[in-house]
Structure 1
Amino acid sequence: MFQGSRKWLASLVLGATLALPAGAQAPATPTPGGTLNMIAQPEPPMLMVGLNTQGPTLYVGGQIYESLLTYGTDLKPLPSLAKSWEVSDDGLTYTFHLQEGVKWHDGQPFSADDVVFTGESFLTEAHPRWRLIHSTYVESVTAPDPNTVVFKLKTPFSAFINAFELSSFPIIPKHLYEGTDYRTNPANQTPVGTGPFKLQEWKRGSYIHLVKNPEYWKKDRPYLDELYFRIIPDAASRAVAFEQGTVDVLRGGDVEGFEVQRLAELPGVQSTTAGWEYYSPLAFMPMDLRKPPFDNKLVRQAVMHAIDRDFIAQSIMFGQAKAATGPIASTTKYYTADTPTYPFDIEKAMALIKESGVDLKANPIEIMPLPYGPQWERLVEYVRQQLDQVGFATTIKAVDAGGWSQAMSDLDFNMSVNFTYQYGDPALGVARHYLSNNIIKGTPYGNNGGYVNPKVDELFAKAAQATDEATAAAAYTEVQKILVDDVPVIWLFELQNTTLMHDKVHDLVRTGIGLNEVMDEAWISK
């Protein structure tokens, strides 16, 4: 099922620049009004991005909530709810000046108190990355006046200015959450943000309908009147919906990989792989390292040899991926290829398992797919086939998006699939999966496997606190070598997502966070 030539798939890798159809000219003046139809795949468990950072939640919730900053395709910070900022010479004080006249969707005024509440209370309890950043680096978050917020750090943290994108630091309304149980607050079902669109209706299993925020803080924005995120469970039906014009936009993963090239070549269709620069998503397989068989490093190394990552990237992901070599994506700062390698070698894998002395049949495992569509299911089928070939006893445990998140958060799994964002710096998006102080229940995006290595902890801390590039680079190079030898997770591939849209859609992908960016500038030509 999974064998065969890869050469024919090479043509499926699309260019990174936006491609307008031949002869097409984008109109110069935006036209206000209109409806943009998209797809939420799979249907998100909630839209409250402070509690859930799965891709579908961010896609929809990114139109409702905002953060202090956003980031360009060059990863440089850009204004959002903060209009300007300064960093002290010693790197310990960050001062943000807020936009004025901002209101929450319920009409209450937004102020620095909301930012302080978010940074000192809500996210320190509910958000895995901010909780780690806050406990390690942040001394205080204060508001000297209603339009100014000051973050004081305990020690320099070079990646701190990159930590204020929507999924990393979504601003939460203090007046709705202070003094409540954040996870059971009724406001989670009727999200209130400061973004350009408000939730109008969520018809489960059918669509999520957002409408224009008439009091949005940016003058004469957004251009669009409404957004629909259609819930279409079947991948083939999603492709048909786009082809027939029922849906205007497809994001990475909305359709099967083999459909991307065909749809991109249709008349009146644009395609781009831009908009993922900040995230650089990398797919991997976390394992429970607390018990056999994955508590043995030789077994984990054997798994790396048993899986053909190039085959996965080209044949299962249809060229929309690149084989990963370790924990840091090749597009992320401080990446090095100077690490141990694991060429596809079944005989080597079997030799390592024999050397380990582990009885695989006495330690059967369940593999839990990522519930994001057929290609992820096929990925797990392939992995199971390969593991069985070298002696594992495996079964597949199918779950929906909510079930996957719950199982990973409860640390109740043997082996699963995940892909996470790197956020422009290893200190933000990579270290969290390997730091021993981030082995916590309540999030699927921490050190879920239970990996502990004091040297790795030390090197990540040294790199994050470095005040010069050379020191950081040296520490990150060393930590990559250690991790790739230890194999705390099975690294699979770097996702190379393609966005498809009909040529009536303009200014949709503008920054390094792509379709998670507020769509206040997006418009449709009539």
Structure 2
Amino acid sequence: MRKNRRSLAAAALLLALSLVLAACGSKQSSPPASNGGGQQGGTQTPSTQTPSTQTPSGGPKVGGELNLRLNQDPDNLNPILSSSAYGSMIYGLVYSSLFDFDLDWSPKGDLAEDWWTSDDGLTFTVKLREGVKFHDGAELTSEDVVFTMQAIKHPDYTGPRASSMASIEDIVAVDKYTVEFKLKEPFAPIFTNINYGILQAKLFEGSEIGDMENHPVTWNPVGTGPYKFKEYVRGQYALLERNDEWFRSEEEGGAPFIQTIRMKVIPDDQTALAALENGEIDVDTPTPSEVKRLLTEYEGRLIPVQYERNGWGYILINTTKEPLTDVRVRQALTHALDREAIVLGALDGEAVVPPGPIPPVSWAYKDDLQTIGYDPAKAEQLLQEAGFTKGADGIYQKDGKPLELNLYASSGSSLIEALTTMARQMWQDVGIKVNVNLMDFNAMNENHLQPGNYDMAFQAFNLGLDPDSLYALFHGSLAKPNAAGLVTSFNRMRYDNPEVNALLEEGRRESDKEKRKEIYGQAQQLIVNDAPVILMYSNLYTDFHTPRVKGVVNFPGAGATLDYLYKWWIEE
């Protein structure tokens, strides 16, 4: 299981998407927007079986316990600090944000009751609902919104979402329930880029923003959402309880309906599959190789929710580490991979190869991208142009040093193991030695990606509702290490192209949709040419849930997203 769109939209932004990203393992992630992915050549036709439908014997009712899977332990439970999908699965149910999104991706109010933009486009005003209570009984006010947003803008902020606030000059509490966002310039992606779980300001009184990750609330969240945090035991489970006083309960027909949410930490895919088949967990996203079997053998016993993903699994390349500073080496690494074959072998054809960083489902997709396709001869030519010569052992070398790289990825995923195994052999075939290191997701981020101690890494990212998601990943301002030498943003490739930066900034200012599409099209082509990432696949996902779970919503691009879990109920 994975994702909350809210955190994705936020991070990718969302973050987002958000997002929320998150960045994660195979599908472990979080925000919406869908992806049919781009195709380079042909891929197998995905499973197209129509999801089963069941007519419930009665309407929604309160009660029961829902069992979900956490693929990994969360990095933390703070909605403005966490950079993993595993944290967002928990805090996304505990906290509320200003906006929610309908099935057509249009914004609607969550904490926001009303909103408007000034004629000059430089002030965005949000009127909050009155009487919203945090889980400890304190009332949410504009001061809490201001604190949350200002924390992200604070120079000592250590989370990955600072880029989303770059165009916001100030956040002001006009009165108890009105907040104004003062903009430096018109800002098209405002809805997704301020859509984070709202923290309670008084709980952080006297604490430093730079030390927020060590604050007790970061691991014991107190929000205003449909579920209250009860307990988290590392390596075992997280437990949430229904918020009987949720502020949207009446308008949502008495929701939330499920009394208890138990999220079990199950890193291993096969263990999770067995748990789904025997009913120990109620929802999961099995690896693609299992989908066709489950659709047939478990028809009626597991209900499929099928959708195209708005995001991709990708290989990050550290663009500041030799010899990867040379674009020819990065392009060679890309040319060496037969990604279509990897989709067939590692994902059973249940994915497509994205041509660029924005998927076809988005209005900003560029359909005539010049891609870096599979061409091992071209890969070797580029290595030779970069000054490498092939040694007697078949491995390219330069100045007596072999071209040997380290690739890091999350452990416990059969998909990731298959993908990295196939990729390693393809690189070996053209004369590049790659060592694959599988480890805990959080340890990989903290020990290797953030400090830059890596050559390549495999992760996944779900895009937000707006193409501004690219800013969080590829803007050069986010590539610079902080005082501790860490890159805590999602631009862990440390990629910095001034031309791309300018286009991403222009895309934020421009409000005309067609002009924005042209701007993001130019940015996509430059990013593809620079090859700071290798886009491996965009999944054609199938979530499965047990028949006792009713009311599941299939959100475009996000499937059985937990953002709509408040609508679910248990029928025993």
Which TM-score applies when normalising by structure 1?
0.90
Quote how far apart the aligned CAs of 1:63 are. 1.0
Confirm or deny that 1:210 pairs with 2:240: yes
Matching of residues 381-392 of structure 1 within 5 Å? 381-392=421-432
User: Could you tell me which amino acid in structure 2 is paired with residue 462 of structure 1?
Assistant: E
CA contact (8 A) 2:553 2:564 kept: no
Confirm or deny that 1:410 pairs with 2:444: no
Confirm or deny that 1:242 pairs with 2:272: no
Residue of 491, 514, 523 corresponding to 2:535: 491
Residue of 357, 373, 380 corresponding to 1:350: 380
Task: Report sequence identity in percent.
Answer: 27
Distance 1:419 1:372 in 2: 15
Partner of 1:3: none
Quote how far apart the aligned CAs of 1:391 are. 1.4
SS at match of 1:475: helix
Matching of residues 32-51 of structure 1 within 5 Å? 32-51=62-81
Q: Structure 1 residues 238 and 133 mapped into 2: Cα distance closer, same or farther (>3 Å)? A: closer
Q: Structure 1 residues 126 and 269 mapped into 2: Cα distance closer, same or farther (>3 Å)? A: farther
Confirm or deny that 1:261 pairs with 2:292: yes
Distance 1:314 1:178 in 2: 53
| Deviation sequence 1:284-335 (CA, Å, 0-9, x none) | 2111112322111111111111111212223212233210112222222311
Confirm or deny that 1:319 pairs with 2:377: no
> How many residue pairs align between the two structures?
505
SS at match of 2:431: coil
| Deviation sequence 1:44-98 (CA, Å, 0-9, x none) | 2332232113112111221111211122232111221112222233322222121
Q: Structure 1 residues 256 and 283 mapped into 2: Cα distance closer, same or farther (>3 Å)? A: closer
Matching of residues 142-153 of structure 1 within 5 Å? 142-153=172-183
| Deviation sequence 1:249-273 (CA, Å, 0-9, x none) | 11x3xx3222222223312322113
Quote how far apart the aligned CAs of 1:445 are. 4.4
Quote how far apart the aligned CAs of 1:14 are. 4.2
Computed over aligned residues only, the root mean square deviation of the Cα atoms, in angstroms, reads 2.4
CA contact (8 A) 2:168 2:184 kept: yes
Matching of residues 352-367 of structure 1 within 5 Å? 352-358=382-388, 360-361=396-397, 362=401, 363-367=403-407
Structure 2 residue runs without a partner (length 5+): 1-40, 390-395
Matching of residues 61-460 of structure 1 within 5 Å? 61-122=91-152, 124=154, 125-126=156-157, 130-135=161-166, 137-165=167-195, 169-180=196-207, 181-219=211-249, 220-250=254-284, 252=285, 255-265=286-296, 266=298, 267-274=300-307, 280-358=310-388, 360-361=396-397, 362=401, 363-371=403-411, 373-406=413-446, 407-427=448-468, 429-441=469-481, 442=486, 445-460=489-504
CA contact (8 A) 1:14 1:272 kept: no
Q: Structure 1 residues 8 and 300 mapped into 2: Cα distance closer, same or farther (>3 Å)? A: closer
Matching of residues 492-511 of structure 1 within 5 Å? 492-509=536-553, 511=555
Structure 1 residue runs without a partner (length 5+): 1-6
CA contact (8 A) 1:71 1:511 kept: no
Q: Structure 1 residues 508 and 410 mapped into 2: Cα distance closer, same or farther (>3 Å)? A: farther
| Deviation sequence 1:353-398 (CA, Å, 0-9, x none) | 1122136442421100134612112212222111122112221222
Distance 2:418 2:509 in 1: 41
Q: Structure 1 residues 469 and 151 mapped into 2: Cα distance closer, same or farther (>3 Å)? A: same
Quote how far apart the aligned CAs of 1:450 are. 2.3
CA contact (8 A) 1:111 1:147 kept: yes
CA contact (8 A) 2:200 2:223 kept: yes
Distance 1:134 1:377 in 2: 37
Quote how far apart the aligned CAs of 1:503 are. 2.2
SS at match of 2:502: helix
Q: Structure 1 residues 445 and 320 mapped into 2: Cα distance closer, same or farther (>3 Å)? A: farther
Partner of 1:474: 518
User: Could you tell me which amino acid in structure 1 is paired with residue 570 of structure 2?
Assistant: I
Distance 2:126 2:515 in 1: 28
Which TM-score applies when normalising by structure 2?
0.83
| Deviation sequence 1:440-473 (CA, Å, 0-9, x none) | 3455543222222211111111222113123212
Partner of 2:6: none
